[in-house]
Amino acid sequence: MKQNLAAARDAFVASMKRETTGPELTRLVAVLDDLIKWSVARPKALAFRDDTARTVFGFQLADSPTTMFWSAKVTRGDAPTLEIYPPTGRTLSAELREKVKETLNAHCRQPTADERGLRIGFGALKNPSARQAVLAQLEELTKCAPAVEAS
């Protein structure tokens, strides 16, 4: 179902509310809003992906209708998770993939970026320095990551 950015954000936040409440929800919504703000500020590189489920929110490469750049997903019993190039992160060069993995894992209590995907929980991204490091890594990826068809 196609929807606009604001409606999709609201639906995603509603999904978040089923798993998180109070001040924690406010902090996690701030993470989502920063990701959206960062992505919207790059219209030549990224476009909102308007055909995702309510529990998934994401942006794709602007020049490809099928290539995801990042997505966030709400899972039962947990904070949302940011995934970079799901599942196409494995197509990055080994060196760049390792750099992204190191950035993500440096800001987590338990490493979450592995051979299956490049992901980090919103809980870790509540920390402003972690969020800035990940956004800086995303910025680098907009300039050098290959476009790969999403599955």
Nearest CA-CA partner of 131 in 116, 121, 140, 141: 121
Q: What is the mean pLDDT of residues 67-93?
A: 79
Give the chain's radius of gyration (CA, Å).
Answer: 14
Domain boundaries of the chain, sorted by first residue? 5-144
Q: What is the pLDDT of residues 3-23, one digit of tens each?
A: 799 999 999 999 999 888 889
Q: What is the pLDDT of residues 104-142, one digit of tens each?
A: 888 887 777 676 688 899 999 999 999 999 999 999 888
145 C-beta neighbours (distance < 10 Å), count: 22
pLDDT band at 102 (very low <50, low <70, confident <90, very high): confident
Model-level pTM greater than 0.75? yes
Distances (CA, A) of 61 to 1, 12, 87: 19, 20, 14
